[in-house]
Amino acid sequence: MAIPILNLKPEVEELWEELNQAVQGVLKSTQFIMGPNVKAFEAETAAYFGVKHSIAVNSGTDALIIGLRAAGIGPGDEVITTPFTFYATAESVSLVGATPVFVDINPRTFTIDTDLIEQAITPKTKAIIPVHLYGQAAAMVPILSLAKKYNLKVIEDVAQAFGGEYKSKKLGTIGDVGCFSFYPSKNLGAYGDGGLIITNNDQIAELARMLRVHGAKRSYYNELIGYNSRLDEIQAAILRVKLPHLEKWNDGRRRAARIYNELLAEASEVITPVEDPDAKHVYHQYTIRIRNGKRDRVKQHLDQAGIATMLYYPVPVHRLPVYKKGSPQLKVAEEMAGEVISLPIWPTIDRPTQETVVGEIKKALAQL
Ligand SMILES: *Cc1c(COP(=O)(O)O)cnc(C)c1O
């Protein structure tokens, strides 16, 4: 039996009736853009996070682009971020005309190494984008204190951590802006593309709302060069069905992570994920490290056994073609890119499936 990296079938089956009713409701209303579901979803997410403003957009990438511009980031500015993330984090900085400045990561949490941020700050630095990678919070206390000292904006990339927490605060509510993705594989996924911006700052919210609809407060009285970046009603209706189940699903991911930790405890050359005691990790990915250059051969073995795994990320962003010229060596990120492997995880994955995955990992390591 093949084991996928993510199985969305259980949630679709669980919510089949509600999802059908939600989609049919949109069809019957014939209101497909900026209708009652988007409005309600924005109100429901604002309440979930306890924030003043929630602005639905077309994707997580657009949430970052619009979030950055609404926070006043633009040409000539530098934005400090991690190289160990999905490309869109840095790409969005470049798309608003600013320059990403990459700072190495902490090898235990895979998030930005906050001890290295201060030395990367220049007079051009305007913002920091911490990425809550794999569902675990970046260390927000030192990030916020540096932001305060140097008057920087903090834009949280929460694409992988909807529902995650840091010191009991929901991720995305700690910095100036929180940016989320509803790509189907994310912890709260739509059945298409989608994204969300949250903030308590009225001015940022007003600008973000304008930028998502061609820079207009009022249709046809456009004031800025903006975007067409609306969440559609069908996706909003689906997300409204799913949101009330998210905490339970995140708990299921945490339970699965504990089981993996237990099953892998004895495996030598394997480093299981470390939970920062300040963070509530929501395990968008369960990512281990395999030492001594054996990662690729273990992956090959798992592929042959029909067990899907992924490498997030095989090349750190500062080594990709667009950014590699003149970029510094970032040793930890480069080392991690050669060791990480993400295992199958979803909220209802069962123990026997996890035992099969771990059994094959141990078999592969014993043969190497
Ligand atoms: C998925 C993701 C994004 C981009 O979101 P899209 O909805 O795919 O545009 C940005 N940053 C991180 C860390 C992501 O994982």
Q: Whose CA is nearest to atom 2 of ligand 1?
A: 159
Model confidence pLDDT, tens digit, residues 332-347: 999 999 999 999 999 9
pLDDT of residue 224: 97
What is the pTM (predicted TM-score) of this model?
0.98
Q: Whose CA is nearest to atom 1 of ligand 1?
A: 159
**Average pLDDT value for residue range 32-50:** 97
Q: Whose CA is nearest to atom 7 of ligand 1?
A: 60
pLDDT of residue 256: 98
246-367 — its CATH code?
Answer: 3.90.1150.10
- Spatial separation of the C-alpha atoms in residues 321 and 258, rounded to whole Å: 38
Mean pLDDT of the chain: 98
| Whole-number Cα distances in Å, 109 to 31, 60, 72 | 44, 22, 30
Task: Give the Cα-Cα-Cα angle 352, 257, 18 (nearest 5 degrees).
Answer: 80
pLDDT of residue 290: 98
9-102+111-244 — its CATH code?
Answer: 3.40.640.10
41 exposure class (CB count in 10 Å sphere: 0-12, 13-18, 19+) = buried
What's phi and psi for 286, nearest 5 deg?
Answer: -105, 105
**Average pLDDT value for residue range 77-82:** 98
**Average pLDDT value for residue range 200-225:** 97
- Spatial separation of the C-alpha atoms in residues 130 and 103, rounded to whole Å: 10
Q: How confident is the model at residue 153 (pLDDT cuts 50, 70, 90)?
A: very high
pLDDT of residue 243: 98
pLDDT of residue 344: 98
* CA dihedral sign of residues 10, 16, 20, 23: negative
Index of the ligand 1 atom closest to the CA of residue 186: 1
Q: Whose CA is nearest to atom 14 of ligand 1?
A: 159
**Average pLDDT value for residue range 81-102:** 98
Model confidence pLDDT, tens digit, residues 161-210: 999 999 999 999 999 999 999 999 999 999 999 999 999 999 999 999 99
Q: How confident is the model at residue 1 (pLDDT cuts 50, 70, 90)?
A: confident
> Is pLDDT at 101 greater than 90 in this prediction?
yes
Of all residues in the chain, the percent with pLDDT exceeding 70 is: 100
Q: How confident is the model at residue 326 (pLDDT cuts 50, 70, 90)?
A: confident
Q: Which residues line ligand 1 (CB under 6 A)?
A: 59-61, 85-86, 88-89, 131, 157, 159-160, 181, 183, 193, 195
pLDDT of residue 52: 98
**Average pLDDT value for residue range 96-106:** 98
> Is pLDDT at 155 greater than 90 in this prediction?
yes
Give residue 46 CA to ligand 1 midpoint distance, Å.
20
Per-domain residue ranges of the chain: 9-102+111-244, 246-367
- Residue type, position 9, single letter: K
Choose the residue to mutate in 58, 160, 182 for probing ligand 1, maximizing ligand atoms within 8 Å of C-beta: 160
Model confidence pLDDT, tens digit, residues 249-270: 999 999 999 999 999 999 999 9
